[in-house]
A and B are shown apart, each in its own frame.
Chain A
Amino acid sequence: MRAFTYERASSVEAAAKAAASNPEAKFIAGGTNLLDLMKLEIETPTHLIDVNDIGLDKIEPTQDGGLRIGALVRNTDLAAHETVRRDYGLLSRALLAGASGQLRNKASTAGNLLQRTRCPYFYDTNQPCNKRQPGSGCSAIGGFSRQHAVIGTSEACIATNPSDMAIAMRALDAVVETVKGDGSRRAIPIADFHRLPGDTPHIETVLEPGEMITAVVLPPPIGGRQIYRKVRDRASYAFALVSVGAVIQSNGTGRIAVGGVAHKPWRVEAAEAELPNGARAAAHVLLADARPTEENRFKVELVERTLAAVVSEARG
């Protein structure tokens, strides 16, 4: 970990301004991802702006009947919130499938969306990795790639986004609200928020430098059976090999977003249109362009089978 300076921001505006004035700065929320990466010098900010005390820890109804979740709401609190449990069960379930109780107590909504990949080569600074060191190469291609992405990959990077929460947010059509250094604000649909790796895998979202997340907004509830199914080797405290977040309506239509397969939560509206024809049909469209490695080919079938289980659970 390199030496850094630290400030505790007093307001949203002050935090955004501080970030705009220092390109080497980073926000720190729960710190559960950032600090680990700093210890390994994968992240090397020279300045940290602590955003824990600027009033972004509230969950409030929106005028149109949705829910605004402050960027600093902890994963534990969000999962336990009465409205979330009642109307957005998928989100609650996805959160509780992630990390551990201790981590969820610290982890924030914004930090969770911005957590970085768990590719083991990304974590080993001796190894080439385009995401960590652009242009150095990708060690996972041709290497140990069991966990890696099967779709939307590039020649530069085959990493996944490991977030469980983001899968639920994607299926629920959340919107990410931000503020920039000049005080301007924007709302980014979650579908556009995370990027595919392309030839710039080090750029993971559409956030501009210094842009801060203030909230994540959920549209009004859509009902349906809401299921999050996380498939992993051990029963707890492990990242997903594959996960399926689904909202299935009684008429057989629904939404599905899949985790563990891509650099972003994977959702294909055309696949959802196939849902009434069964899970297999939907999965075929969902992963039509999959390009797995030898080691993670199983994920294609696993998605199909998990989706089938989820659909049958929703019907049952």
Chain B
Amino acid sequence: MQFDTPATTNPIDRLKVVGQPIHRIDGERKTTGRAIYAYEWNDPNVSYAYGYPVGAAIPKGRIKSMDVSDAKKALGVLAVVTTLDVGDLKKGDFNTAKLFGGDQVQHYHQAIAVVVAETFEQARAAAALVRVDYAEEKGAFDLEKAMDTAAKPEESQEPDTAVGDFDAAFTSAPVTLDETYTTPDQSHCMMEPHASIAAWNGDELTVWTSSQMIDWWRSDLATTLGIDKEKLHLMSPFIGGGFGGKLFLRADAVLAAFGAKAAGRPVKVALPRPLMPNNTTHRPATIQRIRIGADRDGRITAIAHQSWSGDLPGGGPETAVNQTRLLYAGVNRMTAMRLAALDLPEGNAMRAPGEAPGLMALEIAIDEMAEKLAMDPVQFRILNDTQVDPENPERPFSQRNLIGCLELGAERFGWNQRRGPGSRRDGNWLIGVGVAAAFRNNLLVPSGARVRLDREGIVTVETDMTDIGTGSYTIIAQTAAEMLGLPIDKVAVRLGDSRFPVSAGSGGQFGGNCSTAGVYAACVKLREAIAQKLGFNSEDVVFENGQVRSGNRAVPLAEAAGSDGLAGEDTIQWGDLSKTHQQSTFGAHFVEVGVDVATGETRIRRMLAVCAAGRILNPITARSQVIGAMTMGVGGALYEELAVDTRSGFFVNHDLAGYEVPVHADIPHQEVIFMNETDPMSSPMKAKGVGELGLCGVSAAIANAIYNATGIRVRHYPITLDKLIGGLPDVA
């Protein structure tokens, strides 16, 4: 189905199933331990072997030699495969650093061997016996030092944008801001580690893994192994979180494949937690300079956002400036991104890449600007709202209700209770509130599905879409049920298998809208097949209450299916609507914090998010997405930082003891409100992405609340107590 004109009324608008607060259909399996994750597949007829990875002990250089003789002799060891044994391998399209193969070390903990043994413990013990002789080389690990040599990224990234005359407008503006903000490297820290089981059958390979994007993995694994993609069967029906860390093929799958080949048995490999932050990808640190000029009445006349980030050669920038091209009005504007070559592990997508770190900076800057103008920060944002793409005023937003979010949020939160910086106190707590706008683009990716109706009247949806904890199973079932006029328990959903039609996958908050639109398209095909088989005119058929009706003829679906059943398969393809109209999602975050007057510890007291993100397909799963994202925003604001050892070139705090994410005690109260919105430009579902929106802006709202509580403006994340303590009132 080609989606190139705005959606009109369609069966989804009935909202009998879609839009309803339905608990996730896989919930029972998850809570009873029957949802099987990658490492847990256990065929009693198969004797699995266990692979343990070895990571490079240096950040950059060459492996001169490896001695695996002791490892091979160790108890239970079946095989040892080293990066030298396999030689140079082709790299997958989506990988910047190679995952395995060859003598070059590009970053710390890059996989250099896998030791396969009868048990996990034996493999781990033997892995410690692998000895490596390195020729270490000097590397660059310090973003700040590398700023001057940072280069312009590829043109496809649109590294430089400019409209009007920023310099002139900024110089002549009566009120200006020019500040630099930094965000640190961050790690995904999903619960389930990267894990794979590989099983060869002749030249065919089956892999159970934990992947957000089945087809990307399949292509890249085939490329890396040098096998035909068609010979590769990938399955990932349940995923214990990914947050971008499982978008791209990782070393566990490659090592499991080599290990299984060498051992002649299926092999399980999970990345050990302390290996994950340096072995896999991370969100790169940024240095961001923001300049804003405004009239005295608060109208932005000039806005500039520059960002520096680093990556391995061949990598890309953190696109932290992108939202600044669209969020606020202003005739004169520019953005710029520069990319430094660093020899730290690969930087890549994590939890709303681009906007999350970009808004961490921009939305503090907006707060600072409002203060300079003596304006309320909510009013300042409202005043500078734009209903058109500010770089191209001919191009409107498909829907944009930022103002509605801010106004409703302010009312519900009690924003008018806000006082000036450092003026509210509750016992030992300095109390402050903060606001930030939320913004995340709505991305459109083709997505396919197959829908079968069987003679029992059960509809089965198959697509390689993944459910990374988001609720894909549920909203896909709701979509098919709505389309065919069935209750949800008549729909079965099968996901995450490379034998199924290629879907959008889970990333960039495009999965929900795109994958359900793909299911919609397949259901349209199935409806046509049913109508055709019954000789109905497909224009006037109605699917309702388990029946298909035309005029006064009604046939139960089970009967219509016949003994062979009927199927429909299609892929949603996207026309020009995202070019003619800017499609984005909007929201407002409000946060109240307490800062301990003595110690500077910041604790969240309450959080509110108001989101305008098209049709909400299921308020329960959508809320769950948003509160999870808000929690990530707390982590980003207050704790999360991969500490770089700029001498030895690695992330030092590479386990969950050293890299802190929020715990329950940090999140006392969260509230989410969804605006009533449908967006006919976005898809037949009229839905948009919502998950990542919940994160965008949260950290800045917290930073602004800390400022309001203490009067201390911190521009460098995370906002830990050491950055506040020097400015707090005397307590002695």
Contact = CB atoms under 8 A, between A and B. Distances in A.
Given A234-B663, A235-B663, A298-B725, A309 B652 contact: no
Contacts, number: 106
A235 B639 CA distance: 11
Interface stretch (B354-362, B403-411, B573-581, B597-605): B597-605
Contact of A146 (B121, B643, B663, B731): B643
A237 B654 contact: no
Contacts of B721: 231, 233, 241, 298, 302
A237 B598 CA distance: 21
Contacts of A237: 663, 665
B666 interface: yes
B638 A124 contact: no
Interface string A126-142: 11000000000001001
Interface in A219-250: 231-239, 241
Contact of A234 (B428, B666, B726): B666
Given A124-B654, A144-B643, A234 B124 contact: no
Contacts of B666: 234-236
Contacts of A127: 648
A139 to B, nearest CB: 7
Contacts of A144: 643, 645, 652-653
B145 interface: no
Contacts of B643: 120, 144, 146
A234 B639 contact: yes
Contact of A306 (B57, B598, B660, B664): B598
Interface residues of B, number: 43
Contact of B121 (A1, A232, A304): A1
Given A123-B274, A298-B722, A301-B725, A308 B645 contact: no
A241 B723 CA distance: 14
B581 to A, nearest CB: 42
B534 interface: no
A234 B648 contact: no
B391 interface: no
B731 A308 contact: yes
A3 B75 contact: yes
B658 A234 contact: no
Contacts of A298: 721-722, 725-726
B125 A3 contact: yes
Interface in B579-626: 596-601, 603
Given A233-B639, A305-B599, A306-B598, A278 B124 contact: no
B647 interface: yes
Contacts of A301: 725-726
Nearest to B664: A236
B732 interface: yes
A41 interface: yes
Interface in B657-700: 657-658, 660, 662-666
Contacts of A11: none
B601 A231 contact: yes
A38 to B, nearest CB: 10
B599 A120 contact: no
A36 B274 CA distance: 12
A309 B125 contact: no
A1 B123 CA distance: 10
A143 interface: yes
Contacts of A39: 124
A219 B598 CA distance: 32
Nearest to A278: B732
B655 interface: yes
Contacts of B597: 309
B555 interface: no
A1 B124 contact: yes
B15 interface: no
Given A143-B647, A144-B652, A234 B660 contact: yes
B725 A120 contact: no
A88 interface: no
Contacts of A124: 274, 652, 654
B36 interface: no
Given A235-B603, A280-B732, A298-B725, A308 B598 contact: yes
A123 B274 CA distance: 9
Given A233-B721, A235-B666, A301-B725, A121 B57 contact: no
A120 B128 contact: no
A302 B726 CA distance: 9
B731 A309 contact: yes
A312 interface: yes
Contact of A305 (B648, B654, B655, B731): B731
Contacts of B206: none
A304 B600 CA distance: 13
B601 A232 contact: yes
A126 B57 contact: yes
A118 interface: yes
A120 B125 contact: no
Contacts of B722: 146, 298, 302
B665 A306 contact: no
Contacts of A239: 657
A279 interface: yes
Nearest to B108: A126
Contacts of B647: 142-143
B401 interface: no
Contact of B648 (A139, A233, A308): A139
Given A3-B125, A120-B658, A235-B666, A305 B598 contact: yes
Contacts of A233: 601, 638-639, 660, 718, 720-721
B443 to A, nearest CB: 33
A4 B292 CA distance: 65
Contacts of B603: 235
A306 B597 CA distance: 10
Interface string B127-158: 01000000000000000000000000000000
Contacts of B654: 120, 124
Contacts of B657: 118, 239
A234 B57 contact: no
Given A298-B721, A305-B598, A306-B598, A120 B653 contact: yes
A143 B658 CA distance: 15
A232 B720 CA distance: 9
A301 B725 CA distance: 8
B420 to A, nearest CB: 24
B428 to A, nearest CB: 7
B732 A143 contact: no
B179 to A, nearest CB: 23
B649 to A, nearest CB: 11
A123 B124 CA distance: 16
Contact of A143 (B601, B648, B663): B648
Interface in A141-162: 142-144, 146
B652 A236 contact: no
Contacts of B645: 139, 143-144
Interface in B714-732: 718, 720-722, 725-726, 728, 731-732
A178 to B, nearest CB: 29
A3 B274 CA distance: 21
A123 B658 CA distance: 10
A309 B599 contact: yes
Interface of A: 1-3, 39-41, 118, 120-121, 123-124, 126-127, 139, 142-144, 146, 231-239, 241, 278-280, 298, 301-302, 304-306, 308-309, 312
19 contacts: A1-B121, A2-B125, A41-B128, A143-B647, A233-B601, A233-B639, A233-B660, A233-B721, A234-B660, A234-B662, A234-B663, A235-B665, A235-B666, A278-B732, A279-B732, A298-B722, A302-B721, A308-B731, A309-B597
What 10 A-B pairs have minimum CB-CB distances, sorted nearest first? A309-B598, A298-B722, A126-B57, A235-B665, A236-B665, A144-B643, A280-B732, A144-B652, A308-B731, A305-B598
Given A39-B124, A235-B603, A298-B726, 7 more contacts: A2-B128, A40-B274, A118-B658, A233-B721, A235-B665, A301-B725, A305-B725
